[in-house]
Amino acid sequence: MRRETGLMVVIPKSYEIRQVPDLLEMKRGWILGKFVKYAEVQRLSANQELKSGDSIPYLGRNLKVVKEQNNGNANSVKLEQNKLLVSLKSASSRLNVTLERWYRMQAVKLIGKRASELSPLLGLTYNRLVIRGQRTRWGSCSHKGNLSFNWKLLMAPEPVIDYVIIHELAHLKEMNHTKRFWELVAEYCPRWREHKKWLKDHETELATKLLYSFI
């Protein structure tokens, strides 16, 4: 779903173009539901520029954002107990921009570390791991073995993050959501249904945080 162009359909090279209309008709209910959710995200995002005193989730905890001005030094973010201390070099520096950069850096560290720890447990090896700001996905796995994760996962509890990592690692063995795929996920993440539901329940909430760069 793109703000500028609307619905985008991505299909494998082997998929017959003439089958797309039938596919869209079959998925009509799902597509309409996504449009409704997208409109809700747009509505909630109208005034999403964070300010000092607001809260933002990090690893499942709500942290208070405290803005400080540092008179010319580089912008920085420091996690201190239940606060995120955001030091800005000038009054014109964007709080959201600085926070997103910090979240992205933390995602590279934490998700990269967990993926490197979990992949040997599944007996699987991935090629590359990248952190992105996907519009519609928490993660993805390519046919080349590259893993991609949404930096906004850092707002979710750690067990939920692990579920998404295990989910994408499992795609290295089973690209489709077959019975065997879900059996593999369940073997290493028995509470996957609970974590999947958490993501669905909080999708709109997380999508509107720091949204200016997300859509």
Tokens 């606060």, residue located: 83
Could you report the per-residue pLDDT of 82-128, keeping only the tens digit for each?
A: 999 998 887 667 888 889 999 999 999 999 999 999 999 999 999 99
Identify the DSSP state of 6. Answer: B
- Cα Rg of the chain, angstroms: 19
SS3 115: helix
Measured CA to CA, the distance from residue 135 to residue 42 in angstroms comes to: 13
Residue 80: strand pairing partners: 83
Count Cβ atoms below 10 Å from residue 125 Cβ, excluding itself: 10
CB 213 within 8 A of CB 135: no
pLDDT at 46 over 50: no
pLDDT at 4 over 80: no
CB 88 within 8 A of CB 74: no
The encoded tokens of residue 191 equal: 């509470």
pTM of the entire structure?
A: 0.76
CB 115 within 8 A of CB 137: no
Mean pLDDT score of the chain, rounded to an integer?
84
Domains of the chain as residue ranges with CATH? 1-47 (no CATH), 95-213 (3.30.2010.10)
Highest mean pLDDT among 35-39, 71-75, 144-148: 144-148
CB 43 within 8 A of CB 36: no
